[in-house]
Structure 1
Amino acid sequence: MSTKEFQDHETSLSWQLEVAEETIAGRGLIVAEYFDEGCSRRRSWSKRPFAAALLTATQSPDRGFDAVVVGEYERAFYGDQFRAVMTFLAEQGVQLWLPEAGGPVDLGDPAHQALMLLLGSQSWREVLRARHRVMAAMRAQVCTQGRFLGGRPPYGYRLVDAGPHPNSAHAQWGRRLHRLEPDPVTAPWVRWIFEQRASGRSVAGIARELNDREVPCPSGADRARNPHRSGRAWITRTVAGILENPRYTGRQVWNRHGTLHNPGSARRAGGAGGRMDERDYVVSNAPAHPALVDEATFRSIQGMRAARKLQGGGTRTYRLAGLIVCGRCGRRFDSHWVNNRAGYRCRHGHTSARNQAPVMKNTYVREDHLLAALRARLSDVASDDDTALADYVRTKRLMIVYLGPDWAIE
């Protein structure tokens, strides 16, 4: 049973058990049941608790059964899972029975081979079709209706009732729609954040003042929806996330975050399962809730994310950014420009969002010194081009572990 919220345990178990009993009627008895809840068919059997327990039980010499019967193919298998499970069971001397096959599956039988191909294709198509239908419907609901599709409301907003569900059947069951409304406690702080950023203030400076003024951070202001977060303090990433969220302009936005299984998530700004590219955002055609910032201000702030220009018009370049890890605390070094040259530092947990002294003395290393040492260490591949040397380290997924003045490559 893939979803607990929309399916009943007893009902789902009963009809699958009934099908299994009809399949083996007069030929055997069921001596044990294995039923997973809340597991998608896309998960391999080894990652489903009861399916994994079944595979383990088949390896026992006193298991008490010689065959496994599945209530429905589509509930048990997806993609090439059937052949993998069938092979494993055959190695243990256990048959696999399916109601679609009328009994034990024999892959030596051409009819059974064709049947398994058909069932596998059907299972894959069912998932794909449902996914496309749901996503297409969600796009339409956001674009044309500006509908709130669920999840935690953004910091600065709260959920209020928006009337009965437009689907008459859902409405009869008492389901209601929700919309976003400015929260009287947190909305003023969101407006303040945008005002401060528009005036040219740094993200870290905004986070510091919020912490100094003891303003609850998003996870601290809504503990019920954020039990997995500490809720202790603002960090620069939280402030930046608010400044980058187009929902504060009053428009409903969907598909800002993707998953590995999302067919529309080919372009991601933050890696697999991370932030989607802005071109993939689904935005409502008209405002859907009260805005906390006007669109002109919002757009101007987004341009401030670019690298700050120097007086001469250029930008600073850090070739080894993200490639150096502190040997003391395990954190990545920050890029740091000092004495007119590129360098890196680790403040051992101290962040610019807090006014506190670091626990340990900061660690610094100059980029030119580290590049020279790298060139000597990687003499067989190094070149005189510093950028090419840094690209080699990045391409090979190497990390520089620095414990000044000692360092190593991992």
Structure 2
Amino acid sequence: MLAFYGRMSTVEFQDRTTSLGWQREATEETIREHGVIVAEYFDEGCSRRLPWRQRPATPQLIAATEQPNRSFDAVVIGEYERAFYGDQFNAVLTALRARGIQLWLPKAGGPVNLDDPVHQALMLLLESQSRREVLRARHRVLAAMHVQSRVQGRFLGGRPPYGYRLANAGPHPNRAHASWGRRMHRLEPDSATARWVRWIFEQRATGRSVAGIARELNDLGVPCPSSADRERNRHRTKHEWIVRTVVGILGNPRYTGRQVWNRHGTSTTAPVRRRPQVRPAAARGWTESEKNTHPALVDEATFLAIQGMRAGRPTKYGGTRTYVLAGLVQCQLCGRRLDSHWVNGRPGYRCRHGHTSARNRPPELAKNVYVREDHLLNDLRNRFPETADDDGSATADYLRTHDLTITCGGHTREVKACSSLCVRSTAGETVGGQLLLL
């Protein structure tokens, strides 16, 4: 008596009856004259890379093997690649053997015996083949989508950005898909929301804070993205503007008229430092179309100008405090970014090494690091005379453009390249890719 296990990855593009049928047929040919299938476990809509304990049907199979009165003494798999990925096979086989249950595979011609050198070699081959199949399919799909986005500027699905709606762009370029009636789509401005996107960029370009923009949108009763398109945002429960929503709009290069793909891919998880006049796509590795593919809601110059913009917070006297080197100063002792700190009427920066007022200060914690902004700017002007200006903004832009960070807290101050970039200057001594400010 055997239990059958099979799997299919997608429910949108596969038919359960067909997939289950051909996998059952392969197993029945293997077990013919040896037994019959008395139990069936079939997973739908999950990847082979998902561990067995996280799949829908496999926990039921494992639980059934632990029952003393189970109706089967062997498990047969329709196809190795459908069931296992990586080292999953060895873990499952070990668990089944501990319960006195055999594991059958059609490619092994019956029960798997790892004491047999031939079966050992076969399992290694199947494991490698399963990995290769996944990697090859992923590479082909990602490479094709990269070309479709960059060269063709094709819209590859998903929700249209706030301010746009989907429009018919003609028959699908794939002849088979076109014969099935599938159509291409493109973005076009939405009459109800596009003007608010333009307004958001206009307000930000004047130096207004993101929080202030979000508050006014709520005060004016402007529908936020989740309420403006409820069909595609059923999972959203709140219907108001928040800071993250406005930040997402301001940082989306699609509003310049170019198509973007892989903006939220797994390769974009690393934090990116602010760089003036550098498109986010260049910093994050997104795929961006070579030419405009839809009407723009903001011009390129305005979009670039507001990237990394910081709005000064008004003081109680009505003025604003500006920190030119905000985000560019790092602590040598703990590696944290120094906080902007106003003291004695001057901008400065400090690091408390993670200490907060909610806890007593640990005795072993290093003393706070304090540094005045004017002292830093004077050192930088001496080392980079070509960027000297009155307020230090040109010096700060130079550091951000070249991906440089000032480190303080030790006996020396350094301008350190954050990447493999090695910066040289006639005014400073280059040591291992770092410029020492003595």
TM range (shorter): 0.7 to 0.9
1:237 and 2:244 correspond: yes
1:115 maps to 122
Q: Which amino acid is 1:383 matched to?
A: A
1:204 maps to 211
Whether the 8 Å contact between 1:163 and 1:178 is mirrored in structure 2 is yes
Distance in 2 (CA, whole Å) between partners of 1:307 and 1:136 is: 43
1:378 maps to 362
1:281 and 2:296 correspond: no
Q: Structure 2 stretches of 5 or more lacking a match? A: 1-7, 273-279, 314-319, 332-338, 346-351, 371-406, 410-438
Q: Which amino acid is 1:208 matched to?
A: R
1:175 maps to 182
Distance 1:42 1:371, change over 3 A: closer
Q: Which has the higher strand share?
A: 2
Distance in 1 (CA, whole Å) between partners of 2:174 and 2:226 is: 33
Shift of 1:336: 9.4
1:142 and 2:126 correspond: no
1:18 maps to 25
Distance in 2 (CA, whole Å) between partners of 1:276 and 1:50 is: 41
Whether the 8 Å contact between 1:249 and 1:292 is mirrored in structure 2 is yes
Whether the 8 Å contact between 1:267 and 1:277 is mirrored in structure 2 is no
Distance in 2 (CA, whole Å) between partners of 1:225 and 1:6 is: 21
**SS of structure 1 residue aligned to 2:192:** coil
**SS of structure 1 residue aligned to 2:125:** helix
Could you list the per-position Cα deviations for residues 73-96 of structure 1 after superposition, in whole angstroms to 9, with x for gaps in the alignment?
A: 000000000000001111111100
Whether the 8 Å contact between 2:353 and 2:366 is mirrored in structure 1 is no
Residues 336-347 of structure 1 mapped to structure 2, 5 A cutoff: none
1:297 maps to 302
2:202 maps to 195
Distance 1:268 1:151, change over 3 A: same
Whether the 8 Å contact between 2:281 and 2:288 is mirrored in structure 1 is no
Q: Which amino acid is 1:148 matched to?
A: F
Distance in 1 (CA, whole Å) between partners of 2:357 and 2:133 is: 57
1:33 and 2:18 correspond: no
Whether the 8 Å contact between 1:223 and 1:231 is mirrored in structure 2 is no
Shift of 1:56: 1.0
Whether the 8 Å contact between 2:154 and 2:259 is mirrored in structure 1 is yes
Q: Which amino acid is 1:278 matched to?
A: A
Residues 63-142 of structure 1 mapped to structure 2, 5 A cutoff: 63-142=70-149
Distance in 2 (CA, whole Å) between partners of 1:293 and 1:5 is: 37
Q: Percent identity?
A: 64
Whether the 8 Å contact between 1:162 and 1:177 is mirrored in structure 2 is yes
Distance in 2 (CA, whole Å) between partners of 1:372 and 1:158 is: 48
Distance in 1 (CA, whole Å) between partners of 2:260 and 2:206 is: 26
Q: Structure 1 stretches of 5 or more lacking a match? A: 260-264, 321-334, 342-366, 391-410
Pick from 260, 268, 271: which aligns with 1:269?
271
Distance 1:87 1:282, change over 3 A: same
Larger Rg: 2
Distance 1:214 1:371, change over 3 A: closer
Distance in 2 (CA, whole Å) between partners of 1:369 and 1:118 is: 51
Q: Which amino acid is 2:105 matched to?
A: L
Distance in 1 (CA, whole Å) between partners of 2:261 and 2:312 is: 28
Distance in 2 (CA, whole Å) between partners of 1:368 and 1:51 is: 48
Distance in 1 (CA, whole Å) between partners of 2:236 and 2:329 is: 32
Could you list the per-position Cα deviations for residues 176-221 of structure 1 after superposition, in whole angstroms to 9, with x for gaps in the alignment?
A: 1111010000001000101111111111111001000011100111
Whether the 8 Å contact between 2:281 and 2:287 is mirrored in structure 1 is no
Could you list the per-position Cα deviations for residues 152-191 of structure 1 after superposition, in whole angstroms to 9, with x for gaps in the alignment?
A: 0000000111111111111111111111010000001000
Could you list the per-position Cα deviations for residues 209-244 of structure 1 after superposition, in whole angstroms to 9, with x for gaps in the alignment?
A: 100001110011111111111242000110010000
**SS of structure 2 residue aligned to 1:34:** strand
**TM-score, normalised via structure 1 length:** 0.76
